[in-house]
Amino acid sequence: MPLPALEASPVLAALVGGSAAAAATALGTLPAWFARRLEQRALDTMLGFGAGVMLAASAFSLVLPGIEAARAQGAGQWGAGLVVGFAILLGAALIMALDRALPHEHFIKGPEGGAAGRLRRTWLFVFAICLHNLPEGLAIGAGYASGFNHGTALATGIALQDIPEGLVVAVALIAAGYGRGRAVLVGMASGLAEPVGALLGVGVLVAAPLLLPVGLGFAAGAMLFVVSHEIIPESHRQGHENFATAGLMLGFVLMMLLDTALA
């Protein structure tokens, strides 16, 4: 697809970026077909890497552009920060509410959410992974609403971290007792939340551009909640904190470089 066509249409660019992230998730699940067993230390390092990418994406591709957008709309120094800060809290609050209401299963804590006991574990895992991937899609959409380069940096960084993330999901499902085929298919399907979230994020912000600072902050808050509530605790559960932290630092620096180079 010609690059000018994507630059001219934020919605089309967000769909392509979200689909690329979903494809990266699917690609990451494929080694689970062949790998006998991955060391938990490697899995925790991959989770840490994903957390680092999401932290840097939240800061450099969402929060800072959101503050800049608020200033461009006439907000002062304090006002711009307060607008984006409120939106961060709102985004985190929404994902927290969904986490409590939507039936799903954590790999650590077991079933959570309303009526979790009435659904098969496969669906509980699917809902948990989609809760994780939706904020990434929203972030991609919000990024493209703020500018093509910001969106491209976000989509690239998230796609890179989705490759090991897809593998972690598939391996975790196999460890939970699922066959390799089902684990890979569930992992692939979980990535579909990202183009949906990307279209939702860019659609709202293109239709109402004055909401851009709020939308960027909202996406950042949703991702920060997932990092703090899900990924970091998961990566530290087996005593490999040093490796998880090293992965986080590497992911943060890589995303920072992508953002400064592309955006």
In sequence order, the β-bridge partners of residue 111 are 105
Whole-prediction pTM = 0.82
The string of pLDDT tens digits covering residues 29-41 is: 888 887 666 788 8
- Nearest by Cα to 216 from 81, 97, 102, 96: 81
Whether 119 has a pLDDT exceeding 50, the answer reads no
Which one is predicted more confidently, 130 or 78?
Answer: 78
Whether 89 has a pLDDT exceeding 60, the answer reads yes
Locate the DSSP E strands across the chain: 104-106, 110-112
Average pLDDT over residues 180-195: 85
Separation CA 191–CA 137 (nearest Å): 9
Which one is predicted more confidently, 173 or 141?
Answer: 141
Query: How is residue 200 written in tokens?
Result: 């939702």
Contacts of 68 (CB under 8 A, 6+ apart): 80
For tokens 């979790």, what's the residue?
A: 116
Q: Phi/psi of residue 48, each to 5°? A: -60, -40
Position 167 scores a pLDDT of: 83
Q: Phi/psi of residue 106, each to 5°? A: -85, 150
Whether 162 has a pLDDT exceeding 60, the answer reads yes
Separation CA 99–CA 112 (nearest Å): 8
Mean pLDDT of the chain: 83
Q: In degrees to the nearest 10, what's the CA dihedral of 216, 219, 221, 224?
A: -120
pLDDT band at 118 (very low <50, low <70, confident <90, very high): very low
- The helix/strand/coil state of 111 is strand
Helices (H), 118-177: 121-146, 148-175
Position 216 scores a pLDDT of: 92
